[in-house]
Every structure is written in C-alpha cells, then in structure tokens.
Structure 1
Amino acid sequence: MKFTLSWLKDHLKTKATVDEIATRLSAIGLEVESFDNPADKLGAFRVARIVEAGKHPNADKLQVIQVEVEKGAPLLEVVCGAPNARAGLVGVFAPLGTYIPGSKITLEKKPVRGVVSNGMMCSAAELELSAEATGIIELPAEMASHVGERYVEVMGLADPVFEVKLTPNRPDCTGVRGIARDLAAAGLGTLKPEKSISGVEGADPCPVEIKLEFSKETSSACPVFAARCIKGVANGPSPAWLQTRLKAVGLRPINALVDVTNYISQDRGRPLHVYDADKLKGAVRARLGKSGEKFLGLDGREHAVDTGMCVIADDTGPLGLGGVIGGEASGSTDQTVNVLIESAYFDPARTAQTGRKTGLVTDARYRFERGVDPQSVLPGLDLATQMILKICGGKPSKATVAGKEPDGRRSTSFDTAQVAKLAGLELPESEIRSILEALGCDVLGKGGVITVTTPSWRPDIHGAADLVEEVVRIAGLDRVPSTPLPRPAGVARAV
C-alpha cells in the first residue's frame, strides 16, 4: 500500500516529520517496507522548451534540437531520438552530469553520430515515473512559463512516498484514510473530518436496471449492488493533480472516469467500476457464472467463467468478474458520454477463490478479498459521482440499489482488566476508552466492563482478545513491562 506525505495530510492534521511517521507506522503494526523521496533523485531535472528541431546530418532516426533551458540563456544543442520531439514542445531536460535513474547512466558531453549533445530531453521511463519510453515527456504548453525551474517542484513531485506492508487482516488500511486514522489514534496528529457531499442525487431514475440473481444459499456472493448513471460527461485526461497522485503510487492514468475510481480505491479503500452506459444491453445483474461463458478482460486477455464465480453481466453475457476485473466490451473510453458507476460489496472468500483460479492480481481483488467496508457502498458511489461531476460534468440520475449492505459491526462485552491480564500492561480505563473510540469504536458503560461496538471497516476484530491487541498496539508495545516468567517449584534459581 503506497501513499504520499501530502495525500496522508489530506486526512491527518500533523506536524510530524517523515521519520516520525515511518517510526510510528512500524510501531503500530503497519510495517514501512520502503520510503522514497523523488526530490532526491529528480532534483537536477528542469522544465525546458524545444525551440527548433531539425534532422541529424548523419542519422535518419535522430534530430538535432535547440533547447531553452533557462529564461534569457543561450539555447543548448541536444541530440534527440524521440519520435515526438518537435519545436514548441515543453518537456523535461537533464543537464550534463545528471544521473538518469531509469537508464543507470550519468550524462557526459560527447558526440552522438558526430554531433555533441549538451544534455538530454527525457522520457517518463528514464525518470522512473512510468514504463512509457516511446517518447519524451510532454508537459502542457502553459508550462513554458516555468522553463528553468525544477521539474519536481513544478509538478508537485517533491512529495515523499511511503510503502506499507499490510497484513491480510487490515482491509481498513488499504485506503489512505485508514492509515491516517491509526496514526491519529496513536497520537501523531488529528484525523480530519470527512468533507460533506452534496448535489449528487439527480431527479430522474437510473436508466439502467440493477439486479441480484442469486439463490438464498449464494446471496452472500454480492449482497448489495448500487449504481448511478451520469449522462453527458466529457471524458478525457484527468487533471494534473490527479495524475500526479496516481503516478506517485505506481498507478497509470487512463482517463478521467477510470482515474477517479482508482483514486477513491487508494484514498478510501473502496473499489468502484465504471461502464460506458451506451454499451450495455438490458439490465446489469450480479449472478454466478455459467459453464462455458467467457469475456475479454480489461487486461486484454480472455477469461473463462465457472459456476463458482460471481460475475457482472448484461443481456449479452458476462461484463466482468465481481470484485476482480472489468471487461473490455463495456469499458469507458475518451468517447464515453454516458457512464454507469458501480459500487458493490463482494464476498471476500469467493473473491479470493476467483482470483486464485484465474491468476488475476488486481487492486480490486487485493481489497475485496480482505473485506471492504460494507457500509462504504453508497458513500463511495456519492464520492465518485461528486468527483466525476466536477471533472467531467454531466447530469446524474438517482442512485439505484439492489439488495442491502451487511452491517459489519460487532458488539462485545469487554472487561478492561483484560488488558493487564492478557498483555501485562496496566492502563486506566479512560485511556482504553480513548484508544478504542479513536479507532472508530462506539463505547458504552463504565466501571470496568464496557460494551464495545467495532466499526464496519474492522472485520478482523471478533472479541475481547482482539480488543486487547488493539489497545496495546496503539498504546505502544514499548510500554509493556518486561516480566520474568514465574519459576515453577523445583526449578533452580539463576546463579
């Protein structure tokens, strides 16, 4: 699970340093697997503009370009082999002496087929921003006003990136907000309130009917399926801030509609899916697969369906595997004008089984097989609607909901003395209550025995022992005193 410092601070009000954050994360069981500050390796790269581009005298596939690397400074002559290099292009320039992380080389002043190159215009792959290596980076034309400035600062890339290794029992931390909640509970800041959502419910019914077609025995495969249609969207590239966020955590921007769903998945741990509504035939339903069914996935591969898999289908057949992957035939493109947003809850065990059978490893599967918050179905749909309306415009319909979301909450009678009994940590009841409430639990009663209702996003907490673990984890294992084991009768004392 990756996130940037600025992304974390969208949810957490804190003055903690990156070192303090990393240390506290590991202390509360969220192991920091890696930490990367792009500014460390990309600090030398500058925004630059190609002023002239001409053929290389000795090579058909190379160009000799004149590059403005600083306002008012002489142009630099550079040899470039990128097919998209042209006059007027604003891109990223590496001066001589710069280490190129994607190529593992340091630029030297030397001739390229007889022409000396005084630097290099760079691709995204050379900066290790993505796998795109067919052409040099193209920045918006208005970025010409930033020629000579550091690329990481202009594009907001000077943002440290944390990668946390999650255990399978922490689905709440597959979203940045869940990680922020844990840090706030551990005293490293204050969790910011969620922003209100309004203006997303349209006046007209959703034009696409949503159905659940399961028997009583298999209804847990998808107990709730919500959707909303937005007509008249203007799809295309997502805003620069959104693309920057996704790239920072290793996700490839696709288009505004898809990028919004990927953003919410990373931000809230709530996977969503978007369909081109004009490509759908009849009702959209969640059901079990049928022998012999196949569909072309968004990964470009054909996938066979069996009777144990939850599929999303229309009248033509499967559109995708619920909680795992969508299909190419109904996917959104830059030409999509009417979109259907899906927000559903898929059974973790069935999702994991489907993933193993198909060999598909996706961000959706990663979250659903751990247990997505069942109460996030409608809030996730509304948030996606709000973002799409803001970025792409359009007119929303009413939400349509098939089924009912599982409650997901559990109530446990908890004797606070269990913390000392099971973990050896003496804490006042007030601190125990404070920790549990900070983690999202409702706490009732006092005087030793309290009733704790865990939030819907914590399916891993089942009883008193789990509550003790949560209290000790947040209070700090370093506060647990070292106590020698009792010496049974007949065992000699240490000498």
Structure 2
Amino acid sequence: MQFSEQWLREYTNPTIDTEALSHLLTMAGLEVEGLDGIGAEFTQVVIAEIISAEKHPDADRLQLLKVNIGAAEPLQIVCGASNARVGIKAPCALVGAVLPGFEIKQAKVRGVESFGMMCSEKELGLAAESAGILELPLDATVGQDIREFLGLNDKLFTLKLTPNRSDCLSLVGIAREVAALTGAELALPNAEAVKATIDDAKSVSVADKEACAIYSGRMVKGVNAQANTPAWMVRRLERSGLHSINAIVDITNYVLLELGQPMHAFDAAKLTGDINVRWANQGEEIALLNQQTVKLDQDMLVIADNSGAIAFAGVMGGASTAVSDSTKDIFLESAFFTPDTIAGKGRRFGISTDSSYRFERGVDYGRTLQALERATALVLEICGGQAGPVTEVSGTLPARVPTKLRMAKLNSILGITLEESLVAKLFDQLGFAYDLKAGVFEVSPPSYRFDIEREEDLIEEIARLHGYDNIPAIAPVADLRMLPDSEGRAARHVFQDALVANDYQEVVTYSFVDESWERDLLANAHPIKLKNPIASNLSVMRSSIWGGLLDVLVYNLNRQQTRVRLFEIGATYHHADNNTYAETTRIAGLAYGDMLPEQWGEASRSVDFYDVKADVDALTFGRAAYTAATHPALHPGQSAQVMVNGKVIGWIGKLHPKWQQHYQLPRGAVLFELDFALMQQREVPRYSEVSKFPPIRRDMAVLVEEAVSAEELLNAMHSAKLDFVTDIGLFDVYRGKGIPDHQKSLAFFVMMQDGQKSLTDAEADLVMAGLLDALKKQFGAELRQ
C-alpha cells in the first residue's frame, strides 16, 4: 500500500515528524517498507507570470521575457522554450536557485542580461523529458514556492501489510490507525447522502445474498466524461501508484484508495435491462477491460444484464459496458462480496487487481453505501450531471461475534500489569465497542476489523497501542539446577558425530515428496496426501527419507561429485488407527562411490554392503543383528532388516538395480534407515573387575542347515549363560568340498576367563561341551571334524 503523507495528514495530523511516524507504524505492525521523496531536491523556484515576450535581438530562437514573481519589479529572463508566451504561469528559478545538477546564476545570453530561468518538468527533476516550460493553472498564486504549490515537500510511504490488516488498505484505515496510536484527532472525508434529483433507476436482483451481502447502485445522468480530473486528485492517484485515465474512472479509483471500497462505473447506454448479480454459467465468456477474454466457472460471481455477464464481480469490469469520452449516463455500483467468494478467482486467469486484492482480504461492509455517496458527490462536482435514487439489496452480513478479554490473561501474557482504565482508553482509541464486567471486557469489533476473532487478537491490539517499547525487558527468573540426563538414552549429537566422523554429511530434505516416490520406491499405495500442496511434485508426506537422499545424490552427481555420503535425521509420516496420523523420527544414510577418497595408499574400490553395515553397527553400539529380507527399494540379494534385542528397527541394503537405472547412477548406492527413538535406547555400562588371570580361547566349527543364521546360533550360545564365557564371535563361514549341499560350516571363537583363578582345560572343555549341546538341541548342529 503506497500513499502520500500529505494526504494522510489531511485526515489526522499527529505532532510527530515523518521519521517518527514511520517508526511508529512499523512498531505497530504496519511495516514501512519504503519512504521516498517526490522528485529531485531543488530550491528557490517560485510561480511566475509572463507579462511580456519579445524576440531576442541577436537570436531567432530566444525570447526576452518580463515575468512577475510578486516582487516590486518584474524580472528579465532570456528563454528558449517554444511555449513561453504572455499570460501563462510557470515555475521560475531565481538567481541562486539550486536545481538538480546545476545552480542558477545571473548571466548574459547573447549580450542580454538574464536574471533567472523559466523551468520545465525535466529541469525540476519531475520528468525524464519535457517539450517546454511547465504550464501551471491560471489560478496559481504568483510568487508562491513551487514545491509548496505542487506538494513536493511530501513523502511516499509504502506499507508491507500482513494479510489480516485489510482495514489499512485505504487512507481512512491508515488514518484511523495513526489516530489510535497517537491520540491525534481524526477528520474523515465528508460523505453525506446525495439528494436524488431524477427518478431514473436500475432494478437490482442478487441470486446469492451470502456471497454478495450488499449491492448498491445509482444512475447519474448528463455527465461530462471529458471533464478534466482535478490536479489534486491526479497527484494523489499518481503518488499511490495509479495513472489518471478519465475523470469517472479516476473518481472510482480515488474512492478505492480513500475508503478502501472497490467501485465500478458502467456506461448506462450500453446496459440492456436491469442488473442481476448471479453465479456464472459454466464456460460463460466475458471480455474484460484489460482486453482479455475469459471463460468463467460456475463458482465465479458476475454482474449481468439481459445480454449476459458485464463484469467479473470483485475482479474487473467488462469491456462491453466501459465508460468512454462519449459517455453521458453512468450506473455507479458499490458492493460487498465475501472474501471466500472472490479469493483465488482472478488468479486462475493470471489476473490480480486492486479490487480483488481488497475483496479477498475483507472490505468494510459498513462503508459500502458511504462510498457510493462519496463517489456520486465527486462525479457531480467534477463531471456534472444529475443523480438518481440509490438502489440497494442486502443479505446476510458477516457476523461480528463479541470477543472476551480477561484482564488476568492480558497481564499474564504481556508480563506487566495494566489498569482496566488504560485498556478501556485504548479500546476507545481503536473505536471498539465494549462492556466491562468483573475484570472481563466483552469487545464487539467494528465492521472493518475482520482480523479480530479471539482473545489473543485483542491482547495483540493492546500490546500494539500500549507500545512494545513500553514493555520492559525483564530477565527471566529460573532454577538453574542441572537436570538429570539418562545414560540409557543417547543424545542426537552422538549419532551425528559418529556419522560425520565416518565421512557422512548431514542434509535436510523436504518432508513433502512426489507421490510416485512413495508408490514406486516404497510400495506405499496410500500415502498421506496434502490438501493444498505447494507444488505437484511435493504432494504427499514422506514415509521414508530415502527419496530425498537419492534426490540429493543425483544433484551432486550432476555437479561432478563422484563420492557422496549423506545422512538425515528427520520425521516420516504414516497412517495410524482411527483415521489419524503418526509421526516417526528416523535416521537414514546413503553411501555412493569409492570407499575411500582417491589416494596412493589403498586400491580404489566401491563402497559395499558391509562397509555401510559397519557404520550401522557403530550407530547401534554393536547391538544390531541382521536378517535377510526383501524391500521394494533394495537389491533382493543384498538387503536385510536391522534388529536390536529382537525388534526390527529398520533396513539396510544396496539400491535395487531398476532404481539404479531409473536414477541413471553409474554405480550402486547403499542405504540404511533406522527408527531413531529405538536406536537411542542403550544399555547402561556396568562395572566388572578386570581379571588378573589370562583368558583362554577355544574355537568351534559346527555344521547347520543353510536356513539357520549365525545370529540365531550366537543368541543360543549367549542364552546358555555358561560360567566363564566373556565373548563369542563368528570368524568363518564355509560352503564347499566336504560339506553337504544343504548345510554350511560356521566357526566361532569362544573367550573364557575367571576373575579368581586360572581356568583349567577340563573347565574349558566343560564350557565348550555345554555350548555344543545347546546348539544341538535347538538347531541339530553337529561338530565339524
């Protein structure tokens, strides 16, 4: 929202300067994004009247002027402008004036003294080019400073408004805000009812009185559409970013800026029958004022007559009924459309207008009729004519439900104590009606404040008006005792540090992913869909982090990074019971390329399943077990479920060849993904005495069926809980000569130690027999000879 400070100060003029006003608005939530001057700086330029013009004696293209600047004697000025003539008034730079880029001095021009310079818009820095000196209205006061006359001592404010403050999309709204913040008097523009002098009227019907809660209009006949728009109005429009078009359109734009009420004027001679506000027929076409023809949908509101749609309601008027220089009679409309009715409709066709911008955010339905009266008065004043009676159709207006504000809640949130009398005063400054009972304000927001819906909104209003600078910054009082940190739960940084130490880099990817990732990569036929995705390729919530990691991998490969290791700790989303959703934090990683950076000390080889398995072992504190299983994203022969304490916590494996081909990867990538909460659980270290006696190692190789995993055998031996056993591990797997086809040989080492004495061979033999017996009973294992 851009506006002129001088225009604002006509409605409220607080005793603070421009910079203070800018700071005040910003601190009140109306951020001043820009504060600019008008044109270039210059001094000592006044309004002069040319009283004589004679040809220069020594130059054909120069004139010798006598100009009246309101002094005792006229000035003699040599001028080369073609439009300099007797009787006109124009800016005159006096001797000593400083203009953009140069200074005016007394000089001789072709032998004739010149005591100043008549100025064009270009020389004053008001335009890039100009054909001659700037001609001013004949009623301009001779001798007046031109900056004062043209209002150049003005500043342009540009506000960056939040969507909830639609009430400040007008000068009246901003003036109300400034008056409330400063306590200055508010003098709003006069909008008295215009008395009808003719009986001509248009009948109006509204099909949906909720979508169009108010529609008012009136005929104005005998207007002069070629009348000149007053200079003050043109100036205000231009300083608000709008160009002057013609007097009637300028008036509707002016009321839009002044009161925030979008308006439209139809050429009455081009209307067929009466006015009907209705929903568009599917595919109904309308040619708009911007020369764009659109096909409307059934959820779009139109203004129509007997010939069809003549305006896209709340967005733009139609070309068929536009006013022109030949217009004699007009039908002025002022309406209120609910935000939901207009929101997003114009954007379907790439159209955004000042009217739709305001209707989408909420227009003050309390000023709809006032805006019509204001526009009518301006039309009669500028273009002449006679006004007919107002035709108004009203329906269901938005409910303004009273909102309660508890003083105790207010003081608790702000952290200070405000008196009821101060809060009441602030509500009065805002123009809010209220009742106060037992420390509770019941506030009825006005029609222009669509953003006041709950108690927190009122608290924000009080904080704004009281001033954030008036709320002291008090250091919090807190108990700084150290809180216990369970050793049974590893902190997030432990896993991050471990992966970074192993050459991984942490990334953060979107939780929104492409539906095809979920469907194809993870076989998730029913992902959680977003109702309003920000992009078509970000339409569902991820149930795995792998898609994002693969996307980052491809991004890096395209930038010639051939060795990539990535990890992410993030949320995944899943369907739960009773049509609810569950969020699970997971840690996922990806390794691609060479195992080690390029070097002379080690031969180059690609990272494989077992390299990444070692990284997962480190993350799970050596507790992980692996069971071969298939996953749609992983290679069927190189994938496994990861288990801890018998519970599945995730997956590890090489990327499936078809996905390697799909992503055009020259080599295979190895991935893992684990439930982060389950990984954080760890056993608390326990103290045990270090034995002074030497350990004994015994090896044992057993024959078992192919289907039996080494993990099952290890679990069985640990479960036997035999004395003296300190560690058991697998060190060899053999299939081949001497071993039946359906069997395999697994060799284990067994470490034994006694803390009180040296173990004997007999004791060690007894332990080994017990372990072998446990394996025989559970798996039919046989000792390999």
TMscore range, shorter length: 0.7 to 0.9
User: In 2, distance between residues paired with 1:275 and 1:353?
Assistant: 24
Cα deviation, residue 260, structure 1? 2.2
Cα deviation, residue 136, structure 1? 5.9
User: In 2, distance between residues paired with 1:396 and 1:237?
Assistant: 20
Deviations 1:69-90 (A, max 9, x none): 654555544445x8x7777654
Q: Partner residue of 1:24?
A: 24
Q: 2:182 aligns with which of 178, 183, 187?
A: 187
Cα deviation, residue 455, structure 1? 0.7
Q: Is the 8 A contact 1:129 1:247 kept in 2?
A: no
Cα deviation, residue 423, structure 1? 2.4
Question: Residue 187 and residue 271 in structure 1: after superposition, are their counterparts in 2 closer, same or farther (change >3 A)?
Answer: same
User: In 2, distance between residues paired with 1:335 and 1:53?
Assistant: 41
User: In 1, distance between residues paired with 2:45 and 2:346?
Assistant: 41
Cα deviation, residue 139, structure 1? 2.4
Q: 1:302 aligns with which of 292, 297, 302?
A: 292
Question: Residue 438 and residue 108 in structure 1: after superposition, are their counterparts in 2 closer, same or farther (change >3 A)?
Answer: closer
Q: Check if 1:141 corresponds to 2:147.
A: no
SS in 2 for 1:445: strand
Q: Partner residue of 1:231?
A: 221
User: In 1, distance between residues paired with 2:472 and 2:384?
Assistant: 58
**Which is further off, 377-386 or 316-325?**
316-325
Cα deviation, residue 169, structure 1? 1.0
**Which is further off, 469-478 or 380-389?**
380-389
Mapping of 1:320-399 within 5 angstroms? 320-399=311-390
Question: Residue 78 and residue 377 in structure 1: after superposition, are their counterparts in 2 closer, same or farther (change >3 A)?
Answer: same
Q: Check if 1:293 corresponds to 2:285.
A: yes
Question: Residue 344 and residue 467 in structure 1: after superposition, are their counterparts in 2 closer, same or farther (change >3 A)?
Answer: same
The residue type equivalent to 1:161 in the other structure is L
The residue type equivalent to 1:385 in the other structure is T
SS in 2 for 1:353: coil
Gaps in structure 1 of 5+ consecutive residues: 111-116
Q: Partner residue of 1:166?
A: 161
Cα deviation, residue 247, structure 1? 3.0
User: In 2, distance between residues paired with 1:340 and 1:130?
Assistant: 36
User: In 1, distance between residues paired with 2:129 and 2:316?
Assistant: 23
User: In 1, distance between residues paired with 2:406 and 2:216?
Assistant: 39
SS in 2 for 1:285: strand
User: In 2, distance between residues paired with 1:126 and 1:285?
Assistant: 53
The residue type equivalent to 1:250 in the other structure is G
Question: Residue 74 and residue 185 in structure 1: after superposition, are their counterparts in 2 closer, same or farther (change >3 A)?
Answer: closer
Q: Is the 8 A contact 1:374 1:405 kept in 2?
A: no
Cα deviation, residue 135, structure 1? 7.0
- Name which structure has the greater RCO, CA cutoff 8 Å, separation 6+: 1
The residue type equivalent to 2:184 in the other structure is G
Q: Is the 8 A contact 2:191 2:373 kept in 1?
A: no
Mapping of 1:41-440 within 5 angstroms? 41-43=41-43, 45-47=45-47, 71=69, 72-73=73-74, 75-80=76-81, 90-92=89-91, 106=102, 121-123=119-121, 137-143=134-140, 146=142, 149-192=144-187, 195=190, 197-198=192-193, 200-202=194-196, 205-214=199-208, 220-235=210-225, 236-290=227-281, 291-297=283-289, 299=290, 301-307=291-297, 308-404=299-395, 406-440=397-431
Q: Is the 8 A contact 2:27 2:468 kept in 1?
A: yes
SS in 2 for 1:35: strand
Q: Partner residue of 1:113?
A: none
User: In 2, distance between residues paired with 1:106 and 1:357?
Assistant: 51
SS in 1 for 2:206: strand
SS in 2 for 1:162: strand
Question: Residue 126 and residue 470 in structure 1: after superposition, are their counterparts in 2 closer, same or farther (change >3 A)?
Answer: farther
Which has the larger Rg?
2
Cα deviation, residue 35, structure 1? 2.6
User: In 1, distance between residues paired with 2:96 and 2:314?
Assistant: 48
User: In 2, distance between residues paired with 1:451 and 1:319?
Assistant: 44
Deviations 1:426-459 (A, max 9, x none): 2111111221232121101322112111111010
Q: How many residues align?
A: 471
User: In 1, distance between residues paired with 2:396 and 2:368?
Assistant: 7
Question: Residue 356 and residue 42 in structure 1: after superposition, are their counterparts in 2 closer, same or farther (change >3 A)?
Answer: farther
**Which is further off, 469-478 or 29-38?**
29-38
SS in 1 for 2:287: strand
The residue type equivalent to 1:306 in the other structure is L
User: In 2, distance between residues paired with 1:24 and 1:271?
Assistant: 28
Gaps in structure 2 of 5+ consecutive residues: 108-113, 484-785
Question: Residue 286 and residue 95 in structure 1: after superposition, are their counterparts in 2 closer, same or farther (change >3 A)?
Answer: farther
User: In 2, distance between residues paired with 1:222 and 1:417?
Assistant: 40
**Which is further off, 480-489 or 257-266?**
480-489
Question: Residue 229 and residue 412 in structure 1: after superposition, are their counterparts in 2 closer, same or farther (change >3 A)?
Answer: same
Question: Residue 334 and residue 462 in structure 1: after superposition, are their counterparts in 2 closer, same or farther (change >3 A)?
Answer: same
Q: Is the 8 A contact 1:295 1:302 kept in 2?
A: yes
Question: Residue 362 and residue 48 in structure 1: after superposition, are their counterparts in 2 closer, same or farther (change >3 A)?
Answer: farther
Deviations 1:199-242 (A, max 9, x none): x142655522222234xxxx544232110111222341122332
Q: Partner residue of 1:6?
A: 6
User: In 2, distance between residues paired with 1:91 and 1:327?
Assistant: 41
Deviations 1:182-210 (A, max 9, x none): 22222341223664614x14265552222
Question: Residue 127 and residue 302 in structure 1: after superposition, are their counterparts in 2 closer, same or farther (change >3 A)?
Answer: farther
